[in-house]
């Protein structure tokens, strides 16, 4: 187990090209020992590249990787003692389930009795005990993925477990179980886990810290609640949450930016010029409510759909369209409504970046 | 409609099978004939069409005017098997390297090296005959088994490399990466993870080596005189002013037999152990 520190790390797959294209922009990042992290972002944003650099499958073109302060940038994968689970299960077809699970320990030359004991424990934990003698290739895809995972867990001294979208091949019910299991293992063994995913729910329910990436850059990192409540950029607001956060176009008015159709606006923080740049007013559909104290949002309902037991209303007011997520409003398409929002839930974004603390 | 389709399908298979099997049946029938039986028109059934005789088979085992096939047979087995085993071992190692590691010397890269191996098979064999002859002569290995083994390795190695490079390129890289993550060094990765998963490739490459080695006549003929005769040369030596069809047929069956046996054995491995599913 180790604290992992990425120092001025950057990677380009074609470092000799005249104009460097980075798969991973220069970044600094520390992963604390025993924590759970999620790397969230669209395909091709550099998540997998970052994992492969940590496990040593890729040498970074710039920067250093430190485990507990020890520079491992030049070290082979096998010396780093990292477990990694890939998107598709990788198993050793010629071996039985037990041999698969034992393999990392056999490679390290542990005594036989100890290996047998560990394999038994891990198989028990993952519910693979009854399959131990079966050839691994005969199992189903999710069982194979459990084997991949088990090979990571079987080492007690593993530095970290990197999970590269491991739940993609697994059916939804099993996914939930497995996520729970991973959490349990993290709590029991205190091993650092990093989950790469493009599924926000997976990220938000699994990790204590979520790192949102886009175009090889870390956009925001923080606790799930924080990312949801205070997205640092429009990108994060759109990527996290369903439906996406509302970002409404604004016009300048006496040091404020206002949404003309709604008569809703915020003062621009001191030192900012309300007249330059593109400003939007952001708020979560979840923060809109039907009645009570708050600023009014008047408009006509254009569309209604359900997400679970909740209703999503698409409301138009002149040129402006926003969405609201309500428990159960007794409304119909085409009706006029007056909804409300607490002013402290509003925030201004200038050129895609959050500005100031919001309402004051 | 479906019945018609099936009927046509089986008809096609039947026709093709008879086309393939017929030469063997013909050889089998001929091997039991005498000169009279061969020249008196097309006859097929022993005892009915012609009187069977063991003349052809006797001439393979020291009968009058024949040869003793045991010596050449053993020579062929030794040369083919040892050359195939060495080629397979060296070729598999080379192929894994070419598939997984990047080599570079100036403008020469992995693909060029792989092509260099196979390019040796593009040369007409006759071009190689003279150099091989002179080299073996200089080394004092002309007309010896070790000399032949060396030449056959040179012939078979490109086949092993070519087949195995292609095979390893289709083995998912994740398997190697997983082995590294599990703590294997490159040699352990190869021996413990990749090789056990490569049985189908090894079987195909091994088959090719054995077939090419076993069937070669040209080098067996040019690089030997009397001491170390290989099977194809021995069979040809049966020929005389009157073609002994009966003896040639018997010899042909005897020489094809091990390859047939091999094909049946290998077929089981090929259909059983495909690699699909190592990842996924």
Whether residue B279 and residue A107 make contact (CB cut-off 8 A), yes or no, is no
Q: Look at residue A299 and tell me if it is in a domain.
A: yes
CATH number for A342: 2.40.50.140
A70 or B51, greater pLDDT: A70
Of A181, A201, A235, the position where a domain reaches its end is: A235
Average pLDDT, rounded, for chain B: 87
In degrees and rounded to multiples of 5, residue B180 shows phi and psi of: -60, -45
Position with higher pLDDT, B242 vs B131: B131
- In terms of domains, do A83 and A98 share one? yes
Q: Nearest-5° angle of CA A349, CA A355, CA A360?
A: 110
Distance CA A345, CA B125 (A): 83
Within-domain flag for A360: no
Tell me the CB-side half-sphere exposure of residue A274, using CA atoms within 13 A.
16
Q: What is the mean pLDDT of residues A104-133?
A: 91
Helices B173-181 + A141-153 axis angle, to 10: 30
Give residue A233's pLDDT band: very low, low, confident or very high (50, 70, 90): very high
Tell whether A141 is covered by a domain: yes
Each residue of A267-290: pLDDT tens digit?
888 888 888 889 999 999 999 988
Query: What value does the mean pLDDT take over residues A214-240?
Result: 91
Q: Do B182 and A151 touch (CB under 8 A)?
A: yes
Which pLDDT belongs to residue A241? Answer: 86
pLDDT at A358: 54
Who contacts B159 (Cβ-Cβ below 8 Å, separation ≥6)? B87, B91, B121, B205, B208, B209, B212
Does residue A243 have a cis peptide bond before it, meaning omega lies within 30 degrees of 0?
A: yes
* Same structural domain, A83 and A229: yes
Residues of B in contact with A107 (CB under 8 A): 182-184, 188
| Helical pair A97-107 and A112-126, crossing angle rounded to 10 deg | 130
What is the rounded distance in angstroms from the CA atom of residue A54 to the CA atom of residue A63?
12
Least confident of A5-19, B96-110, B211-225: A5-19
The DSSP-derived string for B206-270 is HHHHHHHHHH--HHHHHS--SSS--HHHHHHTT--SS--HHHHHHHHHHHHHHHHHHHHHHHHHH
Q: To the nearest whole angstrom, how far is the Cα of B98 from the nearest Cα of chain A?
A: 19
Is residue A1 scored above 80 in pLDDT? Answer: no
Q: How far apart are CA B193 and CA B174, in angstroms?
A: 11
A193/A249 same-domain check: no
A83 and chain B: CB distance < 8 Å anywhere? yes
Which residues make beta-bridge pairs with A40?
A197, A212
Tokens of residue A356, six digits:
């100031």
Tell me which DSSP letter residue A276 carries.
S
> What is the CATH classification number for the domain harbouring A12?
3.40.50.300
Whether residue A93 is found in the same domain as residue A219: yes
What pLDDT, on the 0 to 100 scale, is given for residue B263? 86
Same domain, A253 and A109: no
- Residue A185 and residue A157 in one domain: yes
pLDDT at B280: 39
Output the average pLDDT for chain A: 88
Q: Which residue segment(s) compose the domain that A107 sits in? A: 4-235
A82 reaches B (C-beta below 8 A): yes
Rounded mean pLDDT, B53-66: 78
Do A88 and B177 count as a contact with CB atoms less than 8 A apart? no
B181/A82 touch (CB, cutoff 8 Å), yes or no: yes
**Mean pLDDT value of segment B262-276:** 68
Residues pairing with A5 in the sheet: A30, A66
Highest mean pLDDT among A330-344, B77-91, B118-132: B77-91
Whether A192 maps to a domain, the answer reads yes
Q: Do residues A195 and A154 share a domain?
A: yes
A333 and A277, same structural domain? Answer: yes
**Domain final residue pick, A193, A218, A235:** A235
Q: Are residues A44 and A170 part of one domain?
A: yes
The per-residue DSSP string of A122-150 comes to HHHHHT-GGGTTSBGGGS-HHHHHHHHHH
A70 close to B (CB below 8 A): no
With beta carbons less than 8 A apart as the criterion, state whether A211 and A40 touch.
Answer: yes
CA distances from A314 to A145, A232, A301, A305, B230 (A): 41, 24, 6, 9, 87
- Interface A-B, measured as beta-carbon pairs within 8 A, has a size of 69
Q: How far is CA A29 from the centre of its chain?
A: 15
pLDDT tens digits for range B166-209? 999 988 888 999 999 999 988 999 999 999 888 888 998 999 99
Average pLDDT over residues B263-275: 69
Digit-coded pLDDT (tens) for A184-201? 888 887 889 999 988 888
**Contact by Cβ (8 Å): A249, A322:** no
Residues A226 and A257 in one domain: no
Reported as a pLDDT band with limits 50, 70 and 90, residue A53 is very high
DSSP H or E segment with residue A7: strand A4-11
Final residue of a structural domain among A220, A235, A250 = A235
Rounded (5°) CA angle B209-B215-B216: 90
B115 CB-side CA count, 13 A: 5
**Mind listing the domains of chain B with CATH numbers?**
2-58 (no CATH), 70-237 (1.10.3720.10)
In the predicted structure, residue B271 carries a pLDDT above the cut 70:
no
Indicate if the alpha-carbon torsion angle A20, A24, A25, A29 is positive or negative: negative
Q: Percent of chain A, pLDDT > 70?
A: 99
Supply the pLDDT for residue B145.
93
Kindly state the tokens that stand for A305: 């759909």
Q: How confident is the model at residue B143 (pLDDT cuts 50, 70, 90)?
A: very high
Phi, psi of A316 (to 5 degrees): -115, 140
pLDDT level of residue B275 (50, 70, 90 thresholds): very low
Q: Note the pLDDT of residue B279.
A: 44
The residue among A328, A318, A255, A257 whose CA lies nearest residue A291 is A328
A340-to-A263, A311, B265 alpha-carbon distances in Å: 13, 16, 78
Structural domain count of chain A: 2
Residue A102: both structure tokens together: 């034992």
What pLDDT score does A176 carry? 82
pLDDT in tens, A58-67: 999 999 999 9
Of A24-33, A82-91, A109-118, B59-68, minimum mean pLDDT range: B59-68
| B146 pLDDT above the threshold of 90 | yes
Residue B246 pLDDT grade (very low, low, confident, very high; cuts 50, 70, 90): confident
SS3 call for A278: coil
- Determine the distance in angstroms separating the CA of B58 from the nearest CA of chain A, rounded to an integer: 48
In terms of domains, do A322 and A174 share one?
A: no
Q: Please, what's the b/e burial string for A260-273 (b: 16 or more CB within 10 A of its CB; e: otherwise)?
A: bbbebbbebeeebe
Choose the closest CB to A88 out of B180, B275, B279: B279
Q: Are residues A47 and A192 in the same domain?
A: yes
How is residue B46 annotated by DSSP? Answer: B
A26: DSSP letter = E
Range in A48-52, A126-130, A167-171 the model is least confident about: A167-171
Q: Residue B122: its pLDDT value, please?
A: 85
Relative orientation angle of helices B2-31 and B245-272, to the nearest 10 degrees: 140
Rounded Cα gap, residues B229 and B72, in angstroms: 5
Q: Return the bridge partners of A66, or none.
A: A5, A71
A134: CB partners within 8 A, 6+ apart: A96, A97
Task: Determine the average pLDDT of the residues in A193-212.
Answer: 89
In the structure, what pLDDT confidence band is assigned to residue B13 with cuts at 50, 70 and 90?
A: very high
Is residue A40 a part of any domain in this protein? yes
- B52 class by beta-carbon count within 10 Å (0-12 exposed, 13-18 middle, 19+ buried): middle
What pLDDT, on the 0 to 100 scale, is given for residue B276?
43
Evaluate whether residue A298 is within a structural domain: yes
Q: Closest chain B residue to A91 measured between Cα atoms?
A: B278
Partner B contacted by A57 (CB < 8 A): yes
Q: Which of A66, A158, A72, A61 is nearest to B181 (CA)?
A: A158
């Amino acid at each position: 187990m180790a604290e992992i520190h990425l120092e001025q790390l950057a990677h380009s797959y074609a470092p000799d090209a005249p104009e460097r294209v980075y798969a991973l922009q220069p970044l600094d990042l520390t992963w604390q020992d025993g924590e759970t992290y999620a790397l969230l972002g669209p395909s091709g944003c550099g998540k997998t590249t970052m994992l492969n650099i940590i496990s040593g499958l890729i040498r970074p073109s710039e920067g250093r990787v430190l485990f507990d302060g020890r520079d491992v940038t030049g070290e082979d994968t096998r010396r780093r003692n990292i477990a990694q689970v890939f998107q598709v299960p990788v198993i050793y077809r010629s071996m039985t389930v037990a041999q698969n699970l034992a393999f990392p320990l056999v490679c390290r030359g542990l005594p036989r009795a100890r290996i047998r004991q560990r394999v038994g424990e891990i198989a028990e934990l993952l519910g693979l005990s009854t399959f131990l003698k079966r050839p691994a290739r005969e199992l189903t895809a999710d069982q194979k993925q459990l084997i991949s995972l088990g090979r990571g867990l079987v080492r007690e001294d593993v530095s970290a477990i990197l999970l590269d979208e491991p739940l993609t091949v697994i059916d939804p019910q099993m996914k939930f179980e497995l996520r729970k299991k991973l959490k349990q293992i993290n709590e029991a063994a205190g091993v650092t886990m990093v989950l790469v995913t493009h599924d926000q729910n997976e990220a938000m329910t699994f990790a204590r810290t979520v790192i949102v990436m886009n175009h090889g850059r870390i956009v925001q990192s923080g606790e799930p609640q924080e990312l949801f409540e205070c997205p640092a950029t429009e990108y994060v607001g759109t990527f996290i949450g369903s439906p996406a956060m509302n970002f409404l176009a604004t016009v300048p008015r006496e040091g404020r930016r206002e949404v003309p159709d709604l008569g809703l606006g915020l003062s621009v923080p001191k030192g900012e010029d309300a007249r330059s740049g593109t400003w939007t007013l952001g708020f979560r559909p979840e923060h809109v409510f039907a009645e009570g104290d708050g600023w009014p949002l008047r408009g006509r309902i254009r569309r209604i759909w359900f997400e679970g037991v909740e209703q999503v209303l698409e409301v138009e007011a002149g040129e402006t369209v926003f969405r609201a997520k309500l428990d159960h409003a007794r409304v119909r398409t085409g009706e006029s409504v007056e909804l409300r929002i607490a002013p402290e839930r509003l925030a201004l974004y200038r050129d895609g970046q959050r500005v100031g603390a919001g309402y004051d | 409609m479906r019945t018609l389709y099936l009927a046509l399908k089986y008809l096609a298979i039947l026709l093709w099978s008879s086309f393939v099997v017929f030469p063997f049946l013909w050889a089998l029938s001929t091997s039991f004939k005498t000169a009279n039986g061969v020249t008196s028109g097309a006859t097929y059934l022993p005892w009915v069409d012609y009187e069977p005789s063991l003349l052809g088979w006797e001439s393979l085992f020291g009968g009058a005017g024949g040869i003793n096939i045991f010596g050449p047979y053993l020579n062929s087995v030794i040369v083919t098997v040892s050359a195939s085993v060495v080629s397979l071992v060296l070729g598999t190692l080379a192929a894994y390297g070419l598939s997984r590691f990047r080599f570079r010397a100036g403008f020469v890269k992995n693909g060029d090296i792989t092509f260099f191996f196979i390019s040796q098979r593009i040369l007409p064999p006759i071009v190689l005959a003279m150099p091989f002859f002179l080299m073996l002569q200089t080394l004092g290995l002309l007309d010896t088994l070790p000399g032949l083994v060396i030449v056959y390795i040179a012939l078979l190695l490109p086949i092993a490399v070519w087949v195995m490079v292609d095979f390893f390129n289709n083995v998912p890289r994740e398997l190697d990466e997983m082995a590294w993550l599990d703590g294997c060094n490159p040699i352990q990765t190869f021996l413990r993870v990749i090789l056990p998963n490569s049985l189908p490739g090894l079987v195909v490459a091994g088959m090719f080596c054995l077939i090419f080695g076993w069937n070669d006549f040209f080098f067996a003929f040019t690089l030997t005189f009397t001491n170390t005769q290989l099977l194809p040369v021995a069979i040809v030596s049966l020929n005389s002013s009157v073609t002994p069809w009966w003896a040639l047929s018997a010899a042909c069956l005897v020489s094809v037999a091990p390859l047939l046996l091999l094909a049946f054995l290998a077929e089981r491995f090929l259909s059983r152990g495909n690699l699909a599913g190592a990842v996924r």
